[in-house]
């Protein structure tokens, strides 16, 4: 079984941008129930179908498959829940770990989240200075939940 172990953090400041490279993502969800999410994603010229299980702490099962680009675009345009998630994903390395920073667009504009995948839940990590509040267990920050409750609807 494929397992994803991931911690999430809000971003503090823009210092991370100096060393990051970005790529545009367009993704949508066919299912967003907590027990399973089914996501369609276009990244560059490749389509993906991803199935994720329920989250337990920072751990969940994850299965990802490449699909024809045309199929991915068709599913995003006609089958996925709205709004779609559009973002630029930046990657950078910090003390031996690859961090992914998502700068959201559209209904989620203004939200910037950093994620780091780990080998185990107990793995110690050094936090970069731009890593702010940890939001790993806060379901509002799950991409699938940003469809039903986009960042533009959150109250300060």
Strand partners, 104: 87
* pLDDT of amino acid 1: 62
- Which residues are known catalytic residues? 29
Helices (H), the chain: 69-78, 145-148
Q: Compute the radius of gyration of the chain from its Cα atoms.
A: 15
pLDDT in tens, 33-48: 989 999 999 999 999 9
Enter the pTM of the model.
0.92
In angstroms, the CA 76 to CA 78 distance is 6
Q: For the chain, what is the mean pLDDT?
A: 95
Task: Domains for the chain: give ranges and CATH numbers.
Answer: 3-153 (2.40.320.10)
């Amino acid at each position: 079984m494929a397992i994803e172990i991931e911690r999430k953090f809000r971003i503090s400041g823009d210092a991370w941008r100096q060393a990051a490279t970005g790529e545009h993502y367009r993704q949508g969800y066919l299912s967003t129930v907590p027990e399973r999410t089914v996501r369609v994603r276009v990244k560059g010229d490749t389509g993906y179908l991803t199935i994720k299980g329920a989250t337990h702490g920072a751990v969940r099962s994850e299965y990802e498959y490449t699909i024809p680009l045309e199929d991915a675009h068709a599913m995003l345009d006609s089958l996925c829940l709205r709004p779609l998630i559009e973002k630029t994903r930046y990657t950078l390395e910090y003390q031996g770990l690859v961090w992914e920073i998502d700068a959201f667009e559209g209904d989620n504009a203004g939200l910037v989240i950093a994620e780091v995948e780990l080998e185990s839940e107990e793995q110690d990590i050094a936090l970069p200075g731009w890593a702010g509040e940890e939001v790993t267990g806060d379901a509002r920050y799950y991409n699938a939940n940003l469809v039903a409750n986009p960042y533009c609807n959150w109250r300060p």
